Amino acid sequence: MKETIISCESLLHFTEDVLAKCLPKREAHLIAETLVDADMRGIFSHGVQRLSGYLKRMEEGLMERETNVVTVSDSYTTAVLDAHNGWGQVASIKAMEIAIQKAKEYGTGFVGVRNSNHNGTATYYTALAAEQGHIGIAMTNASPIMVPFGAKEPSLGPNPISIAIPTGEGKMPIILDMSTSNVARGKIMVAKKNNTPIPEGWAITKEGYPTTDPQEAWEGYVLPLGPKGSGLAIIVDILSGILTGSLFGKQIPRQYDDPYPQQVGHLFGAIQVGNFIDPKDFYEKVERKVQETITSEPMEGFDRVYMPGEREQIQKKRSMKEGIPISNNVFEELRATGENYGIDLNEYVSVSN
């Protein structure tokens, strides 16, 4: 597949400049940072290829141009925020920052967000907590494009969950970030844009049949990560949707198909390690856990054993040095999006392949 390599800094500036044409500059920067961070980690399903879809919903009046986050309830260790149909990333960063502050003061903090929109990768938010020495938790519900295990009618989103574990100052945190589906629907979007088939087991058609055609999969439904993924998706839907006062299950409009605000919910948590165990002791034991994992003898066909999120963090370091590969189809889509807002993508490209 042909691609263009763009430096992280250039891609960030382009994305921010496009968003700043219609959003407050601070919000444009936050959203651009979350999108490019996903691409830097190699999570292209949640990177800048989402930009045109976000802006389309905003232009159609399905998302607000400015995110007005209001506190609905607040206690020592909990809070609920209303995003008022603003940008999910902006509301999510604020929610995690509040959760972290509560954890610093009271040991734990959990903050729910209602009436929100797609908020990118959960990794971004849990990493914020881990960087400050807290265990971070993030989850969100999503459009019902996934069937429960054994069903052919959708009532769940892929409903991802992330947990980040700090490992000590200057060290990479351990970050689990998993979709409850076999695959993030964004990967099907990427395959559709690049006209490439998808693996078996990712999705079914709207009639309930297996498919490797990305267009049929896009019109159909993704499959859960077995019965455990299905069960976890249901729990995340309850915690993110019902508990926060947001829509849930079949009520949520499909992000790219239904002309209604999504009104999804998110839940964020931060836990202060020192309220449970001496941090020094914690970090020493976590390091032992890391070593016993990564030094395990690998099975045939594997080069080594990795910790959760390690590959993505390695890729992020590589991206910072070598740039981010953008497929030609996504590049052309970004170019067209930029032109719509008077921004020339070619002026930001530093290296091409």
Cα separations (Å) of 185 from 283, 315, 335?
Answer: 35, 21, 23
Positive or negative: CA dihedral 243, 246, 250, 256: negative
What the block records as the tokens of 126 is 């849990």
By DSSP bridging, strand 134-140 and strand 264-272 are antiparallel
Angle between helices 122-131 and 88-106 (to 10 degrees): 30
Q: Is 166 helix (H, G, I), strand (E, B) or coil?
A: coil
Contact 84, 115 (CB under 8 A): yes
What residues are paired with 162 via a beta bridge?
A: 138, 177
Contact 122, 114 (CB under 8 A): no
Active site residue 118: yes
Positive or negative: CA dihedral 217, 122, 194, 183: negative
Contact 200, 212 (CB under 8 A): yes
Which of 156, 88, 76 shows the shortest CA–CA distance to 116?
88
pLDDT in tens, 65-96: 999 999 999 999 999 999 999 999 999 999 99
Contact 252, 263 (CB under 8 A): yes
Q: What is the pLDDT of residue 353?
A: 44
Element housing 232 (H / E): helix 226-237
Amino acid letter for position 151: A
What the block records as the tokens of 302 is 């594997």
Q: What is the pLDDT of residue 350?
A: 59
Catalytic residue chosen out of the listed positions 46, 118, 134, 266: 118
Q: Tell me the pTM.
A: 0.93
pLDDT in tens, 309-352: 999 999 999 999 999 999 999 999 999 999 999 999 999 985 44
**Edge to edge, what strands does the sheet with 203-204 contain?**
210-211, 203-204, 221-222
353 residues of the chain, pLDDT tens digit each:
588 999 999 999 999 999 999 999 999 999 999 999 999 999 999 999 999 999 999 999 999 999 999 999 999 999 999 999 999 999 999 999 999 999 999 999 999 999 999 999 999 999 999 999 999 999 999 999 999 999 999 999 999 999 999 999 889 999 999 999 998 777 898 899 888 999 999 999 999 999 999 999 999 999 999 999 999 999 999 999 999 999 999 999 988 888 999 999 999 999 999 999 999 999 999 999 999 999 999 999 999 999 999 999 999 999 999 999 999 999 999 999 999 999 999 999 854 44
C-alpha radius of gyration, the chain, whole number: 20
Element housing 128 (H / E): helix 122-131
